[in-house]
């Protein structure tokens, strides 16, 4: 039997993964929309004030700024000369490919690739920086939700089982992080770096110190807090009266589940999990679905804006570099006399 070339196999595998993610998102979105009342939802959306939308987008910009500071701080553990503008550039590219592009590449892989290809990180350092940044974000989100858990339990003492979903979502997110690490290692293996890259990652791991993790966790918690506050303001306009403690416990579970690499940009998984969780505390399913759609559209807008800024910066960088390229003067060949 004739075997396919390795490049063609990789291309078919990427297309299969993209199609599988698209199928998961499509099925879940269809399931949550099958009894959705668009007329009632439109009436609620018309009642949202313009100032609320401005505040939500402003907090979204603050979140991206905090993410850029955290990403730059982590990258400087391995490269002290890593500039802030480089951190925001790679972050913008990662947000664009991770949230606005329906591909199997993912924003984390793009960030690691840019660190390795452009900013003189080794392949092990680039992979480890990306994994550490992802782990810090997930743990910070979990810790932020845990802070509101006591007040949530005081309000909903009959819904103790709902916190089991927080643990399940955490485990699922960690499994997703492990899958991301496995994919990164397999890419390194195909490139001829395995098992050398694993040894380099283990040798690069002591660079991460406990004292340096504290500001990273603080920035991670602040970035998630900005996202949750913007989502809570949006949700309060749609479904007023929900306690902030309940929102800050349940919403992170949906965000943790949407971080799993099983769908396109978290679409479908985020909406389904939020509908399931918030209906447990008597929130209408339509309101919970509008919350998931709002978070998804906000993430999509972030990706598009960051992608536009990243592409513009790339064009300016190429134009600037081309200005310094001197054309070789033409040689004048004179005949011998």
Q: What is the DSSP string of 20-58?
A: HHHHHHHHHHHHHHTT--HHHHHHHHHTS-HHHHHHHHH
How confident is the model at residue 47, as a pLDDT?
A: 80
How confident is the model at residue 269, as a pLDDT?
A: 87
Mean per-residue pLDDT, 88-117: 82
Distance CA(58)–CA(64), nearest Å, equals: 10
Task: Record the tokens describing residue 98, joined without a space.
Answer: 């991770």
Regarding pTM above 0.85, the answer is no
Radius of gyration of the chain (CA): 23
* Residue 58 Cα to chain centre, angstroms: 19
How confident is the model at residue 336, as a pLDDT?
A: 39
Mean per-residue pLDDT, 225-236: 92
Residue 77 reports pLDDT greater than 90: no
Distance CA(320)–CA(56), nearest Å, equals: 35
Mean per-residue pLDDT of the chain: 77
Mean per-residue pLDDT, 100-126: 80
Mean per-residue pLDDT, 117-127: 85
Residue 163 reports pLDDT greater than 60: no
Question: For the segment 2-56, what is each residue's pLDDT rounded down to a tens digit?
Answer: 444 556 666 677 777 778 888 888 888 888 888 777 777 788 888 888 899 999 9
Buried b (16+ CB within 10 A) or exposed e, 195-219: eebeebbeebeeebeeeebeebeeb
* DSSP E strand boundaries for the chain: none
Mean per-residue pLDDT, 282-310: 89
How confident is the model at residue 314, as a pLDDT?
A: 84
Distance CA(221)–CA(25), nearest Å, equals: 28
pLDDT band at 84 (very low <50, low <70, confident <90, very high): very high
Task: Record the tokens describing residue 58, joined without a space.
Answer: 């402003």
Mean per-residue pLDDT, 149-159: 67
Mean per-residue pLDDT, 153-170: 56
Mean per-residue pLDDT, 226-241: 90
Residue that the structure tokens 């100032």 belong to: 51
How confident is the model at residue 335, as a pLDDT?
A: 43
The CA–CA distances, whole Å, from 87 to 18, 36, 256, 302 equal 28, 41, 24, 16
| Residues 88/72, Cβ–Cβ less than 8 Å | yes
- Calculate the dihedral angle through the C-alpha atoms of 41, 42, 48, 53, rounding to the nearest 10 degrees: 100
* Residue 301 Cα to chain centre, angstroms: 13
């Amino acid at each position: 039997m004739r075997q396919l070339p390795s490049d063609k196999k990789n291309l078919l595998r990427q297309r299969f993964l993209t199609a599988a993610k698209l199928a998961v998102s499509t099925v879940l979105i269809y399931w949550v929309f099958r009894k959705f009342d668009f007329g009632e939802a439109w009436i609620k959306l018309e009642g949202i004030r313009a100032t609320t939308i401005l505040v939500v987008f402003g907090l979204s910009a603050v979140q991206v700024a905090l993410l850029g500071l955290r990403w730059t701080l982590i990258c400087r553990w391995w490269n002290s000369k890593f500039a802030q503008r480089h951190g925001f550039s790679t972050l913008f590219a990662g947000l664009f490919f991770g949230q606005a592009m329906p591909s199997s590449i993912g924003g984390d892989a793009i960030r690691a690739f840019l660190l390795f290809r452009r900013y003189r990180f080794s392949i092990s350092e680039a992979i480890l920086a990306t994994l550490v940044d992802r782990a810090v974000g997930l743990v910070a989100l979990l810790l932020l939700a845990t802070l509101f858990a006591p007040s949530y339990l005081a309000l909903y003492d009959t819904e103790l089982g709902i916190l089991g979903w927080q643990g399940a979502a955490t485990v699922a997110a960690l499994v997703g992080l492990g899958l991301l690490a496995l994919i990164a290692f397999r890419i390194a293996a195909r490139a001829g770096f395995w098992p050398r890259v694993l040894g380099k990652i283990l040798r690069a791991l002591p660079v991460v110190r406990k004292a340096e993790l504290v500001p990273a966790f603080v920035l991670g918690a602040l970035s998630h807090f900005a996202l949750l506050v913007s989502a809570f303001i949006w949700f309060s306009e749609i479904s007023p009266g929900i306690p902030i403690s309940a929102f800050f416990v349940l919403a992170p579970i949906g965000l943790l589940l949407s971080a799993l690499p099983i769908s396109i940009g978290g679409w479908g998984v985020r909406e389904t999990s939020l509908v399931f969780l918030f209906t447990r505390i008597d929130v209408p399913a339509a309101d919970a679905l509008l919350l998931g759609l709002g978070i998804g559209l906000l993430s999509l807008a972030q990706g598009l804006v960051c992608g536009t800024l990243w592409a513009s910066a790339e064009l300016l960088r190429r134009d600037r570099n081309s200005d310094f390229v001197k054309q070789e003067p033409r040689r004048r060949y004179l005949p011998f006399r």
